[in-house]
Amino acid sequence: MPNNNQAGKRENARVPRHIAIILDGNGRWARKRGLPRTAGHAVGAETFRKIATYCRDIGVEYLTVYAFSTENWKRPEGEVAAIMKLLGKYLQEAIDTMERDHIRMKVLGGLEELSPELRAMVRKTDEISQRYEGFQANICLNYGGRDEILRAARRYAADYAEGRADADLTEEGFSEYLYSAGIPDPDLLIRPGGEVRISNFLLWQCAYAEFYFTDVLWPDFGPEELDKAIAVFNSRDRRYGGVK
């Protein structure tokens, strides 16, 4: 699809290369309207589609969203099932449109706990993604930051024990064991929904991300909210521990 939002691109002269978003507030959005929480998830999924398109149009290279955490299995069975159904619907839709739009999509998280249908869709999106370069959407699904680090440590230990890795592990080397291998760290982390916490998201990768919190609930989060977050990001002084 051609880039049809040049105006947006100009306004955000410095667009973060990688934006990460914790998709939060779906349940409260629905409750405020007297709807079941699952209705909020459905609208939130649409919001993801709009924001992903907007990110691509303004020149963001990577968008990583937190869609389902390793802790979210604690929720009522019906809610989990509804979320999984929505994820399946959107992954299938992504499979149908990725080729046309030359979009890359990657699922980050523990896949073995997902249904065989979802796993098959993830394999398909991976396969299509290999054929393209350009905008990449990462969906964190059954994802936990600690779980990711632990799995990486176990895989490194196994490689070391079998002589495939040596003892002088570096930060860059360890990063290659994470789900996010090959993806640059997020520059901007956005959490809508009013909570001011990281909830086990990208613990390793957000070491120097700029954080932006807003009370706007995810289903209400539009391009203008993203523009606001980017404007705040541009006002920050990123020092990485140095002095200027």
Query: Considering the rule CB under 6 A, would residue 219 count as an interface residue with ligand IPE?
Result: no
End-to-end CA distance of the chain: 41
Beta carbon nearer to Mg ion, 24 or 147? 24
Shortest distance (Å) from residue 191 CB to ligand IPE? 8
Gap between the Cα atoms of 110 and 179, Å rounded: 9
Gap between the Cα atoms of 68 and 89, Å rounded: 15
Q: Which does 69 bind (CB under 5 to 8 A by kind): ligand IPE, Mg ion, none?
A: ligand IPE
Task: Tell me which of 16, 24, 108, 219 binds Mg ion, using CB under 5 A.
Answer: 24
**At which residue do the structure tokens 């299995």 appear?**
73
Beta carbon nearer to ligand IPE, 65 or 103? 65
187 tagged catalytic: no
Q: Which of 24, 57, 147, 187 is catalytic?
A: 24
24 tagged catalytic: yes
Q: Which does 199 bind (CB under 5 to 8 A by kind): ligand IPE, Mg ion, none?
A: ligand IPE
Beta carbon nearer to Mg ion, 26 or 180? 26
Query: Considering the rule CB under 6 A, would residue 23 count as an interface residue with ligand IPE?
Result: yes
Of 64-72, 107-115, 157-165, 203-211, the window that binds ligand IPE (rule: CB under 6 A) is 64-72
Query: Considering the rule CB under 6 A, would residue 22 count as an interface residue with ligand IPE?
Result: yes
Backbone angles phi, psi at 188, to 5 degrees: -130, 125
Task: Tell me which of 17, 43, 72, 159 binds ligand IPE, using CB under 6 A.
Answer: 72
Give the binding-site size for ligand IPE (rule: CB under 6 A). 17
Q: Which of 3, 4, 26, 72 is catalytic?
A: 72
Number of residues written out for the chain:
244
Contact 191, 212 (CB under 8 A): yes
**At which residue do the structure tokens 């404007």 appear?**
231
- Annotated catalytic residues are 24, 72
Applying CB under 6 A, the residues found at the interface with ligand IPE are 22-28, 66-69, 72, 83, 193, 195, 197, 199
